[in-house]
Amino acid sequence: MLEVINTEQSTIANANYPELSPASAASNLAEAINTVLPDEKSPLSAAARLHFQNLGKLLRGTTSLRLAKVVGLDWDAAINWAVAVELMHNASLVHDDICDEDQFRRDQFSVVSSFGTPIAVCLGDWLVARSFELGIRAAEKGIGLSSIELLASSMRHLSAGEAAEFSSSKFLDWSDYEKIVLNKTVPLISAAIEGPLVLSDRKENLSDIRAATNALGIAYQISNDISDIIDGNGNPGPFNDLRKRAPNAVLLTFREQLSTEERNDYDVWWENLSGPTIEEWIVRIHSSQSLDICSRRLNSTLGDFKDSCNKLPDYILEALDPIIVYLQALTSICAPLSKKTLDFN
């Protein structure tokens, strides 16, 4: 188990913190992000303002702030690290949209569709550089520079995970899927959690924390994949991954359940869009057992996370609460399918 927090150190640091409910943490983080974006004279200003017009859920950054507070990390270090993680995450989204040729991001036009590939590439690169700059500022307030390795490692793994989507066989098994997720989704969740611990010199039992975040990251990605297939009312979702023929846990499961003849038809359609229309596949996927199976796999993965959390102190779990609540909400969408939800209480 991790050692007990130095209460005096934590109390002194907490005196400089604003109130950090999930909503107020997100508000503080949003304000901080907006202050570090390209200024109005920059050729990247308009593209940055478009992309950050919708900041998303900010789960990584708010989780990082909440954990930083309970371990007694200086507020300046905490906010710089949280913003660094969010900027790195958004850099990956801008680059993802280039690779996937996505027109939309967070219910608005993407940077690449609005400003073209050159500006999108430059904005993504700028965000990576800004992320490292803020990471260094956080390290100056913390114990050392080893935390910067987390950012570098995250970007390296993110790039490898993105490349794997294009270089791997389109017909993945679960082992392939988890490898991509561990590279693409987990690194910045891990960086959000490990950063405050490293910066406050609380590196005990990081292996237990990493086991928990690996399970959490896989569950997070499965939940996002499910939300692409089904909305909060149980109706068909946007099916963006099917339209892009991108890795998705539900689609992987659907293919596994097909007969040999049906699988051949699906594979032919996937490779050259011949045969049944995409609307016909959407109907078949939505009415299949794939969501049920995937929902149970999500619950199982969350169970693995819960088991890993038994080795962690309560303050880690409290800091992870925004992500856990988000996953519980997505799990509840599929509760009628799986007949089961996971209780973390």
Instruction: Give 161-215 as a DSSP string.
Output: HHHHHHHS-SS--HHHHHHHHHHHTHHHHHHHHHHHHHHTT--TTHHHHHHHHHH
Low-confidence ranges of the chain (pLDDT < 50): 1-12, 335-345
DSSP state of 44: T
DSSP state of 274: -
Q: Are 172 and 252 in contact (CB under 8 A)?
A: yes
Considering Cα of 151, then 315, then 179, then 283, what sign does the dihedral take?
negative
Q: Are 199 and 77 in contact (CB under 8 A)?
A: yes
Angle between the N-to-C axes of helices 75-100 and 146-167, in degrees from 0 to 180, rounded to the nearest 10: 20
Task: Provide the percentage of residues in the chain whose pLDDT is more than 90.
Answer: 44
Supply the pLDDT for residue 117: 97
User: How far is residue 320's CA from residue 103's CA, in Å, rounded to a whole number?
Assistant: 32
Supply the pLDDT for residue 326: 76
Q: Where are the domains of the chain?
A: 1-143
| Amino acid letter for position 229 | I
For residue range 6-45, list pLDDT tens digits in order. 434 444 456 678 888 888 999 999 999 999 999 999 999 9
| Amino acid letter for position 75 | W
Supply the pLDDT for residue 201: 87
Contacts of 192 (CB under 8 A, 6+ apart): 60, 61, 63, 64, 67, 82, 85
Supply the pLDDT for residue 345: 45
Whether CATH 1.10.10.10 fits 1-143: no
| Amino acid letter for position 177 | Y
**Dihedral pair phi/psi, residue 57, rounded to 5°:** -80, -20
Supply the pLDDT for residue 1: 34
